[in-house]
Each structure stands twice: as structure tokens, then as C-alpha cells.
Amino acid sequence: MRPRAAQCSGVPIRLHIGGVAAAPGWTVLNAQPGPAVDVVGPCTDLGRFADASVDEIYASHVYEHLGYHVELPRALAEAHRVLVPGGALRISVPDLDVLARLLLAPGATLADRFHVMRMMFGGQMDAYDYHLTGLTWDFLAAYLERAGFAAVDRVAEHDLFDDTSSLRFAGELVSLNVVARKPSERR
């Protein structure tokens, strides 16, 4: 698959990491090929994208699939590298705080608890569907700050794509949705 013309022309792009559906104005990068995937590759190596070539990154339920020692810091560093100054990284991951509460909720059935466990550890339907990292607001904010991001804010929802960033279980939003900005260059 080849990237859309926007990336090739040097014009900053919007990058949807882990996406499976085409959307106007977005370049889709996924570890697995698919009909809407523009670039096949891991989120830990964005070498196909130049420094400061991406206006915005969206990654819904991607970063929990990475190991927290090496892969997650590397992926966030790569996102930081490719973003333009002031660019936004929009992240959605399973909220471990919410999931732990749902797992231990009084009255939760065995089926409910099993479903929550799958949200914690991945559906395990293929080699990519395993969660290696559990993230809370505190954990994710610390990882983002270490990667050089500033203005890390929690948001209710991103409202960009119809995906798991808006998933609710037992009436609760189970995703931790965050916007982190690369600091603007000082003049």
C-alpha cells in the first residue's frame, strides 16, 4: 500500500494509527493490511513519515497492545517526532481504573466479569489482539510527559470515528480518551 498524496507532497497529514476504515483527510497506518490501509507497519516505527510531517494523530485502542518497558515509550516518541509543533496526539485506550471497578462490581455476573476481563487483556482473536499494558490516567499522562508532550488533557470522547473510543459497558465509558500536544516551537 502506498501513502496518500498529501504525505508525498510534503503537506502535513492526519495519521490514523490502527485504523481500518477510510476517512477523508486521514492516512491510515495499521500493522495488518486491509482495504482502507494506506501504510502497513508498526506504530513503534514511523520511519516512513518525516519529522514534523503530521498535523494530528489518532490512535484508538492501539497503545495497550505494546509492552510498557520499550514499545510504548518508543511509539510515543515516534508520534512526538512526526508531529508538527503544536500538533495533537489523540489517544483512546481501555481505562484500567474503570475496568477494575466493573470487574469487582457487586452484582456483576460471571459473563459480565468475563467480558470485562477480555477488555482488559484483549479479545485474543489473532496475534495482534493481546493487551500488554494496562493504562490509567496517571500512567498514560506520565508516559506522554516523558515522551515530551505538553498540555495532556483528558476528554470525554474524540467523536472522530465510530470505534471503541466511545464504547460503554454497564452504562460506563470504558475508554480513557486523551489529547496530548507537542509543544510549539519558541520564536
Kindly give, in sequence order, each residue whose CB lies less than 8 Å from that of residue 182, ignoring residues fewer than 6 positions away. 80, 83, 84, 85, 86, 87, 88, 89, 148, 149, 150
Q: Which CATH number fits domain 5-181: 3.40.50.2300, 3.90.800.10, 3.40.50.300, 3.40.50.150?
A: 3.40.50.150
- Inter-CA distances, 182 with 152, 153, 173, Å: 9, 12, 26
Provide the pLDDT confidence category of residue 185 given band limits of 50, 70 and 90.
Answer: confident
How far apart CA 76 and CA 55 sit, in angstroms, is 15
Q: How many residues does the chain have?
A: 187
Give per-residue pLDDT as tens, 143-175: 999 999 999 999 999 999 999 999 999 999 999
Closest C-alpha to 50, from 77, 28, 81: 81
CB hemisphere CA count around 109 (13 angstroms): 4
Closest C-alpha to 172, from 151, 161, 157: 157
Grid coordinates representing 165 are: 473510543
Ranges of each domain in the chain = 5-181
Q: Which residue has the cell 473510543?
A: 165
Residue scoring higher pLDDT (174 or 3) = 174
Give per-residue pLDDT as tens, 108-147: 999 999 999 999 999 999 999 999 999 999 999 999 999 9
N- to C-terminal Cα separation, the chain: 38
Structure confidence at residue 4 (pLDDT): 42
Three-class SS of residue 170? Answer: coil
